């Protein structure tokens, strides 16, 4: 870990991607660990990958204005990956965003967005006399196959490629590959070890891959039967041992684990399993970990304010 913490507003080098983990947890609500969400900055582009419960609060603690972010790319529809969309959308409008929130996601995303519009129709109506229109709108783009879903690469921006991974039936979950200049960052979403992810992540700079705790430890901590713990940890998700195999196959400059109960008594056994098959650079992710992907790949905690005031508009 770098000796220097990340300060909000810090400049980003032209050849860097900055990745901030806004949430590294699971569906279990925990005040100390938000659900899934990643904030990505590259050149002029700023966007989220997933937006689970707790993610909007961690976003505002970075003191980034909502006017800077109007795009969210959703990997799948489990609540821990989309349960913060409503707050990010409406909260972002109430504190600065004057353009529609744009949401990309797999089939079914449009139904979710339509549902949010209906749920919050009264909320929006009551605010229109005090807030400019525009930010109260939300749009949706669905994708249903592997391929590029967003591309500003030739204009100095990013190329985002979605690829189907293996999670739960019916299968409707995607990983994301982000390319910016010579830098490549891959986010697994939720997945088992699978060929598609290994193919897209081969040789990348940063691979953020999900993992559940070792099944025996998870059964003990969650009071679940071992059969259920194994199904969750090893069939619906990736075990730490298998994540080590994925890292060994892809050889990222840095591998980071998210979707882990990252308690002190879990991290050690998880790392032990990873190290059975992988000796490269790896870290267990935590909320507000900042990763700079440039000539070097560094990690550090963000300086943050738990009670921030809204930040003004960007230029």
Could you report the per-residue pLDDT of 268-283, keeping only the tens digit for each?
A: 999 999 999 999 999 9
Q: What pLDDT does residue 312 have?
A: 74
Residue 154 domain-assigned (yes or no): yes
Q: What pLDDT does residue 1 have?
A: 47
- Number of domains making up the chain: 1
Match 């259920």 to its residue by tokens. Answer: 228
Residue 262 domain-assigned (yes or no): yes
Per-residue model confidence as pLDDT tens digits over 171-208: 999 999 999 999 999 999 999 999 999 999 999 999 99
Contact 22, 287 (CB under 8 A): yes
The answer, yes or no, to whether residue 315 has pLDDT greater than 60, is no
Q: What pLDDT does residue 64 have?
A: 93
Average pLDDT, the chain: 96
The answer, yes or no, to whether residue 78 has pLDDT greater than 60, is yes
Instruction: Calculate mean pLDDT across residues 70-90.
Output: 98
Q: What pLDDT does residue 219 have?
A: 95
**Number of residues in the chain:** 315
d(CA 9, CA 20): 13
Per-residue model confidence as pLDDT tens digits over 32-56: 999 999 999 999 999 999 999 999 9
| β-strands 289-293, 17-23 pairing | antiparallel
d(CA 141, CA 125): 25
The phi, psi pair for 33, rounded to 5°, reads -155, 105
Residue 4 domain-assigned (yes or no): no
Residue % of the chain over a pLDDT of 90: 95
Instruction: Calculate mean pLDDT across residues 286-292.
Output: 98
The phi, psi pair for 243, rounded to 5°, reads -60, -40
* pLDDT-based confidence at residue 4 (cuts at 50, 70, 90): confident
Name the nearest CA neighbour of 6 among 309, 286, 315: 286
Per-residue model confidence as pLDDT tens digits over 83-135: 999 999 999 999 999 999 999 999 999 999 999 999 999 999 999 999 988 99
The answer, yes or no, to whether residue 314 has pLDDT greater than 80, is no
Residue 109 domain-assigned (yes or no): yes
Q: Tell me the CATH number at 239.
A: 3.60.15.10
Segments forming the whole domain that contains residue 128 = 17-301
Residue 3 domain-assigned (yes or no): no
Residue % of the chain over a pLDDT of 70: 98
Q: In what order do the strands lie in the sheet with 183-187?
A: 147-151, 159-164, 174-180, 183-187, 206-210, 254-258, 282-284
Q: What pLDDT does residue 3 have?
A: 60
What is this structure's pTM?
A: 0.96
Residue 265 domain-assigned (yes or no): yes
Token reading at 250: 């892809």
Residue 8 domain-assigned (yes or no): no
Residue 272 domain-assigned (yes or no): yes
């Amino acid at each position: 870990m770098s000796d220097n913490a990340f300060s909000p507003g810090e400049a980003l080098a032209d050849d860097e991607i900055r990745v901030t983990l806004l949430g590294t947890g699971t569906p279990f609500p925990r005040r100390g660990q938000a659900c899934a969400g990643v904030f990505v900055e590259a050149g002029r582009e700023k966007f989220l990958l997933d937006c689970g419960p707790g993610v909007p609060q961690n976003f505002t603690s970075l003191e980034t204005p909502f006017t800077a972010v109007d795009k969210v790319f959703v990997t799948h529809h489990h609540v821990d990956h989309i349960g913060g969309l409503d707050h990010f959308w409406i909260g972002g409008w109430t504190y600065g965003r004057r353009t529609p929130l744009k949401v990309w996601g797999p089939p079914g995303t449009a139904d979710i967005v339509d549902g949010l519009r209906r749920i919050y129709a009264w909320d929006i109506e009551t605010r229109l006399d005090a807030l400019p229109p525009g930010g109260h709108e939300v749009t949706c783009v669905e994708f249903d196959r592997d391929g590029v879903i967003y591309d500003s690469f030739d204009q100095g921006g990013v190329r985002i490629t979605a690829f189907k991974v293996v999670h739960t039936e019916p299968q409707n979950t995607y990983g994301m590959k982000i390319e910016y200049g010579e830098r490549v960052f891959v986010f697994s979403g939720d997945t088992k070890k699978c060929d598609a992810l290994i193919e897209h992540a081969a040789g990348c700079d940063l691979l953020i891959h999900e993992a559940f705790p070792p099944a025996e430890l998870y059964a003990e901590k969650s009071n679940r039967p071992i059969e259920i713990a194994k199904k969750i940890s090893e069939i619906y998700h990736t075990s730490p041992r298998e994540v080590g195999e994925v890292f060994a196959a892809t050889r990222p400059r840095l591998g980071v684990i998210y979707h882990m109960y990252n308690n002190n008594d879990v991290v050690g056994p998880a790392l032990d399993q990873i190290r059975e098959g992988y000796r490269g650079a790896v870290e267990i992710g935590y909320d507000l970990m900042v990763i700079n992907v440039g000539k070097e790949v560094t990690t550090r905690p963000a300086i943050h304010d738990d009670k921030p005031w809204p930040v003004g508009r960007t230029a």
